[in-house]
Amino acid sequence: MNISGNTILITGGGSGIGRALAEALHAKGNKVIIAGRRERALDAVTEANPGMESMLLDIQDATDIARFARQAVERFAGLNAVIQNAGIMKPENVPAADNLGIAEETIMTNLLGPIRLTTALLPHLMKQPQATVLTVSSGLAFVPLAATPTYSATKAAIHSWSIGLREQLKNTSVEVIEIAPPYVQTELLGPQQAVDPAAMPLAAFIAEVMTILETQPETTEVIVERCKPLRHAEATGTFAQVFAALNAQHA
């Protein structure tokens, strides 16, 4: 992926990793469009970053995704990259049977949403000389967090789907890059996460991601150093130890 000169759509761009990526890519000379459900949050980002634009999107709604995709390619004919960043993460108590609503919402947002939006945008992206689909999975795709089983499962599914999509698009102009964040200081699990010293500072994560994208343009996976123990746990035979440590930390 070229690090500049793109027209990039970022879902979930109103806060957290999405906002930070949007601002970093905007600073590199890309045309950036952020999308999400919270208009005030989107407005705050665009007001702080002149030239950045926003569009409302309900990633859980199939009809709204179709509308959004049509309008996005009409407004931004040069659109050649999409970062599928929107996601939710909520603890579930499966034995208490309070999990089904959370599970369904999580699957709609984290898995079906990116699949639907990518499918809707692909006809346009495939017409571009160079295009990129960037998916955002998680270190939990490789070592799950027991407290958030459906979140972990959706991220494992996004990892697998990214591999399959990459293979299907290998003879097209569209590349597929997966970004797998570790535990980062955002508010994904609530305000306490943003100040948790055990989490990777957001600015440090974004800086490392940008460095990888800039210096390794052929990469298919963006794995920062903090995430490598999770990514390689199965291959290195350390899965049981990493799983135990991860889940003890978040018990």
What residues are labeled active site? 151
* Residue 7: its H or E element: strand 7-11
Rounded to 5 degrees, what are φ and ψ at 143?
-135, 105
Tell me how far apart the alpha carbons of residues 22 and 12 are, in angstroms, rounded to a whole number. Answer: 10
The answer to whether residues 41 and 115 touch, using CB atoms and an 8 Å cutoff, is no
Which is it for strands 81-84 and 31-36: parallel, antiparallel or unpaired?
Answer: unpaired
Q: Which amino acid is at 194?
A: A
228, with CB counted inside 10 A (0-12, 13-18, 19+), is: middle
